[in-house]
């Protein structure tokens, strides 16, 4: 392990050389030098304050938009899935949601409180924190369209409340203060009418009908290019069902790559590059990744 952690051996919920395949929806990935799963913000703050300043830190939630390479991750991975998943209605238009809360749960709770339009969140297969980090979207809606403010934590363990104005967001992209990670967000929605229930059900049904749910995947692999859809371009290139090792382009949705059971991260990455290359050759469109790639290839020393 490249990170010295002897002085942190008594930190609760801290693991060394933890296989990331246990923590990603693709079920692949080599070991993280340090893997920390705090149960509260105070515990997280203490860990960050103790961590050496030169140790890289990576935050993950459900690991649903993440490809970890087979060589693993140098530094520390903080998994937020055990943090409190609070969601609170603040008034007739606002709700505060913790970063570890699933987006689908937030959508359902907003429906109960008649806050909307929030149904699009049910199409995002990750947590609020992950959605904030990448401005995740579905069914025409984007996370940051409704953000009023966020709470973050920095490398020293200090907690900050920051207004929406301190961040800029675009399609699957967010920028703001460096070396800070989201703890929660306050969203502002308009009053929702009775149609919200049917809208949410329709979106969940569409997701089930068009996506390979229940198979190990990471959601949409590529961003949709302007005026088109990545899945459509891949399908038009005749690449549905294409395979590299245990990685396969879904026959249900061409912008999904599934782990058939034996895939390595290298298989998935090679298939990604094959799709990008062939779509570019046939259409002239350069597909951009939506999933995040972390870590080292097997055999790299870091």
How many Å apart are CA 272 and CA 244, to the nearest integer?
9
CB contact at 8 A, 169 and 131 = no
- Give residue 8's pLDDT: 53
Helix axes 195-210, 103-112, angle to 10 degrees: 160
172 is catalytic: yes
- Give residue 2's pLDDT: 40
- Give residue 31's pLDDT: 98
The active-site residue, picked from 109, 172, 207, 276, is: 172
DSSP 109-164: HHHHTTEES-GGGGG--SBHHHHHHHT-EETTEEGGGGEEEEEEEETTS-EEEEEG
Tokens read off for 203: 């979106």
CA distances from 113 to 64, 143, 250 (A): 27, 18, 36
The active-site residue, picked from 220, 248, 269, 276, is: 220
pLDDT in tens, the chain (302 residues): 444 444 454 555 799 999 999 999 999 999 999 999 999 999 999 999 999 989 999 999 889 899 999 999 999 999 998 999 999 999 989 999 999 999 999 998 988 888 877 888 888 888 999 999 999 988 888 999 999 999 999 999 999 999 999 999 999 999 999 999 999 999 998 876 655 667 777 777 777 777 787 899 998 999 999 999 999 999 999 999 999 999 999 999 999 999 999 999 999 999 999 999 999 999 999 999 999 999 999 987 55
CA distances from 20 to 31, 67, 81 (A): 5, 10, 14
In the chain, what are the domains? Answer: 6-79 (3.30.43.10), 87-197 (3.30.465.10), 211-294 (3.90.78.10)
250 is catalytic: no
CA distances from 28 to 72, 217, 258, 289 (A): 10, 10, 11, 18
Instruction: Write b or e for each residue in 144-176: b if 16 or more Cβ atoms lie within 10 A of its Cβ, otherwise e.
Output: bebbbbbbbbbeebeeeebebeebebeebebeb
Q: Which 8-state DSSP code applies to residue 223?
A: P
Residue 270, phi-psi category: left (phi > 0), alpha (psi -120 to 50), beta (remainder): alpha
**H or E stretch at 107:** helix 103-112
Measured in degrees and rounded to the nearest 5, phi and psi for residue 254 equal -70, -10
What distance lies between CA 256 and its chain's CA centroid?
15
Q: Shortest CA distance to 130 belongs to which of 255, 22, 253, 23?
A: 23
Kindly tell me the number of DSSP H helices and DSSP E strands found in the chain.
6, 20
Dihedral of the alpha carbons of 27, 29, 35, 38, in degrees to the nearest 10: -30
300 is catalytic: no
């Amino acid at each position: 392990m490249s990170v010295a952690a002897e002085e942190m051996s008594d930190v609760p919920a801290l693991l060394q050389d933890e296989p990331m395949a246990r923590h990603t929806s693709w079920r692949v990935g080599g070991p993280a030098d340090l893997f920390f799963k705090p149960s509260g913000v105070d515990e997280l703050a203490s860990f960050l304050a103790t961590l050496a300043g030169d140790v890289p830190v990576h935050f993950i939630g459900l690991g649903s938009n993440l490809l970890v390479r087979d060589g693993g991750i140098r530094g520390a991975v903080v998994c937020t899935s055990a943090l409190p998943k609070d969601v609170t209605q603040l008034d007739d238009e606002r709700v505060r949601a913790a970063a570890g809360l699933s987006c689908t749960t937030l959508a359902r709770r907003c429906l109960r409180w008649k806050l909307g339009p929030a149904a699009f969140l049910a199409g995002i297969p990750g947590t609020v924190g992950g959605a904030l980090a990448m401005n995740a979207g579905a069914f025409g809606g984007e996370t940051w369209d409704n953000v009023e403010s966020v709470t973050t934590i920095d490398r020293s363990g200090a907690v900050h409340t920051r207004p929406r104005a301190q961040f800029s967001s675009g399609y699957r992209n967010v920028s703001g203060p460096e070396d800070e990670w989201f703890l929660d967000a306050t969203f502002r929605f308009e009053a929702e009418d009775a149609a919200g229930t049917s809208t949410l059900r329709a979106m969940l049904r569409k997701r089930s009908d068009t996506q390979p749910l229940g198979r190990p995947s990471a959601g949409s692999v590529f961003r949709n290019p302007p005026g088109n859809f990545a899945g459509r371009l891949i399908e038009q290139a005749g690449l549905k069902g294409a395979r590299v090792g245990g990685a396969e382009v879904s026959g249900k949705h061409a912008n999904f790559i599934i782990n058939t059971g034996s895939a390595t991260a290298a298989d998935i990455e090679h298939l990604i590059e094959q799709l990008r290359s062939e779509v570019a050759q046939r259409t002239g469109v350069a597909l951009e990744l939506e999933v995040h790639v972390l870590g080292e290839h097997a055999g790299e020393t870091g």
